[in-house]
Amino acid sequence: MWKGIVLKSEAAPPTQDEWSVFLRRSLAPYQIPVAFHVVDHMPRTTSLKPALAEIRAAIEQKLRGA
């Protein structure tokens, strides 16, 4: 499952530790992601929903180190 948060442009992105601390307040340990990916642009479909195929491809490419 993919989840995302869009930050306002002037906001500094939280660190990995800040995300973990924030999520531990309301999620069970097994629900906390092991990695967080910050992106500059969230691809969207024509209906403005997140373009999951493009997002998956970008994350897989990042994980491969390309």
Neighbouring CB atoms inside 10 A of 26's CB total 7
DSSP 8-state secondary structure symbol assigned to residue 7: P
Q: Which residues pair with 44 in a beta bridge?
A: 50
Residues 15-52 have pLDDT tens digits of 889 988 999 999 999 998 888 877 778 899 999 998 99
Is the pLDDT at 6 greater than 70? The verdict is no
Domain borders along the chain are: 16-64
Q: Which residue has the higher pLDDT, 51 or 1?
A: 51
Give the predicted TM-score (pTM) of the model.
0.54
Mapped onto helix, strand or coil, the DSSP state of residue 60 is helix
pLDDT value of position 19:
87
